[in-house]
Amino acid sequence: MHHENDEILWKGLMEGDQDMFLALYRKYYHSLLFIGLREIKDAHLVKDAIQQQFLYLWEKRNSIQPAKNVKAYLVTSFLRKLTADWKRAEKTDNLQVAWNNTAEMPLLTPEESLIWKDEQQQLCRLLMDHVNALPARQKELIILRFYEGLSYEEIVQRTNLTHRTVYNKIHEALKKLKLELEPAKEKERLSFGFGMSLLWTALLFFYGWQ
Amino acid sequence: MTPGQLDIEDLLADESFINYCKRTSQRDSTYWESYIQDHPYHAAVVEQARNRFIELFNVLCVADMEEQEALLKNRLAATVPAPVISIKKQESQFFGLMKVWIQVQYFYKKKLK
């Protein structure tokens, strides 16, 4: 499901296939988000620009051209849009802006760990429950720090909290996420992975016979 | 930090440790790699913390994507006056044809007047 070909998705979009359109959105959402956050440390603005770009694509689906390089097209037009949005916002509001001229910044992408994501869905659901159970302020800080990737200094500027308070709240929140697994559970997870690979080998073996 | 006092929360709250997890800083990566070598009894907890960070990051990715996709779907539904869009393809073809037919009728009526 996550390896759809860009050309097929783009063609689907041009033909007005909303599922294909949403698949294209899901495929590029995080790439665009993290590229955007590298330029502008305001997730709200970046996310809105992504929404606007895709709404625009959907509205213009009857007149858009076949794209030779979908990713390049999406990234370029998105950055153009984001820059325009930022300039407009700057006039009305003093946003925390950090123009970053370092070209590369390797980052974990969700795709990188999709394989284990399937294996550990239950664990992830539990973790998300813990995140959602956090007090609003702590949840916000966890998202800023671990998802949007703001540094402590940037969080201090954004929230007007002291460095110490931010650190303490994040530390407290991390405790509540119950990240410390008992050795038994850690083992369980390993044996689960082992079980999965056994299953996989069995399947390969089975189909090998056919 | 002395042996036994290092826990996952301390590591994840440490800025340089996250840089090491995300591979965003060569300096921090080098620091933590040599730290593991110098403190082998902490290697396991460092590895665990790194895994927990990846899990937390992924969980937040999925949750945000779901939220944003739902928002996009709502916006699509709200800005949907274009007749070509329909939930089912068969329906959309049907209404598409109907629309053409109505337009043709309308055009001829206008022409007749």
Between B97 and B53, the higher pLDDT residue: B53
In a domain, A205, yes or no: no
Select from B9, B57, B69 the Cβ nearest to the Cβ of A146.
B57
Q: Which of B27, B53, B24, B30 is nearest to A145 (CA)?
A: B53
Select from A51, A177, A186 the Cβ nearest to the Cβ of B72.
A51
B80 touches chain A (CB under 8 A): no
In a domain, A113, yes or no: no
For residues A125 and A67, state if they share a domain: no
In Å, how far are A38, A42, A61, B12, B19 from A150, measured between CA atoms? 10, 10, 36, 14, 11
Q: Decide if pLDDT at A51 tops 90.
A: yes
Section B39-48 average pLDDT: 92
**pLDDT of the residue at A171:** 96
Q: Decide if pLDDT at A210 tops 50.
A: no
Crossing angle between the packed helical segments B15-22 and B26-38, to the nearest 10 degrees: 100
**pLDDT of the residue at A194:** 47
For residues A19 and A86, state if they share a domain: yes
In a domain, A27, yes or no: yes
Is the reported ipTM for this assembly greater than 0.85?
no
Chain A, nearest residue to B50 by Cα: A179
Range list of H helices, chain B? 8-12, 15-22, 26-38, 43-78, 89-112
- Written as six digits, the tokens of A178 are 């119950």
In a domain, A85, yes or no: yes
Nearest-CA distance from B112 to chain A in Å? 31
Section A119-125 average pLDDT: 74
For B9, half-sphere exposure in the C-beta direction (CA atoms, 13 angstrom radius) is 16
Between A92 and A30, the higher pLDDT residue: A30
Identity at A93, one-letter amino acid code = D
For residues A74 and A131, state if they share a domain: no
Note down the domain range covering A126: 120-180
B14 touches chain A (CB under 8 A): no
Ordered DSSP codes for chain A: -TT--HHHHHHHHHTT-HHHHHHHHHHHHHHHHHHHHHH-S-HHHHHHHHHHHHHHHHHTTTTPPPPSSHHHHHHHHHHHHHHHHHHHHHHHS----------------GGGGHHHHHHTHHHHHHHHHHHHTS-HHHHHHHIIIIIS---HHHHHHHH---HHHHHHHHHHHHHHTT----HHHHHHHHHHHHHHHHHHHHHHHHHHH-
Contact assignment for B60 to A107 by CB distance below 8 Å: no
Map out the domains of chain B as residue ranges. 1-80, 82-113
Select from A26, A30, A55 the Cβ nearest to the Cβ of B75.
A55
pLDDT tens-digit series, residues B89-99: 555 565 666 66
Nearest-CA distance from B70 to chain A in Å? 10
For residues A154 and A76, state if they share a domain: no
In a domain, A34, yes or no: yes
For testing contact with chain B, the best of A27, A102, A146, A152 (most B CBs within 10 A) = A146
Cβ-based contacts under 8 A for chains A and B: 107
Contact assignment for B92 to A47 by CB distance below 8 Å: no
pTM: 0.71
For residues A173 and A128, state if they share a domain: yes
**pLDDT of the residue at A54:** 96
Residues of A in contact with B87 (CB under 8 A): 18
Q: Decide if pLDDT at B113 tops 60.
A: no
pLDDT band at B79 (very low <50, low <70, confident <90, very high): confident
Mean pLDDT of chain A, nearest integer: 78
In a domain, A104, yes or no: no
Count of domains in chain A? 2
pLDDT band at B101 (very low <50, low <70, confident <90, very high): low
What are the residues whose beta carbons fall under 8 Å from the beta carbon of A172, sequence distance 6 or more? A138
What CATH number has the domain bearing residue A140?
A: 1.10.10.10
Q: Which of A8-12, A95-99, B77-81 has the highest mean pLDDT?
A: A8-12
For testing contact with chain A, the best of B6, B68, B74 (most A CBs within 10 A) = B68
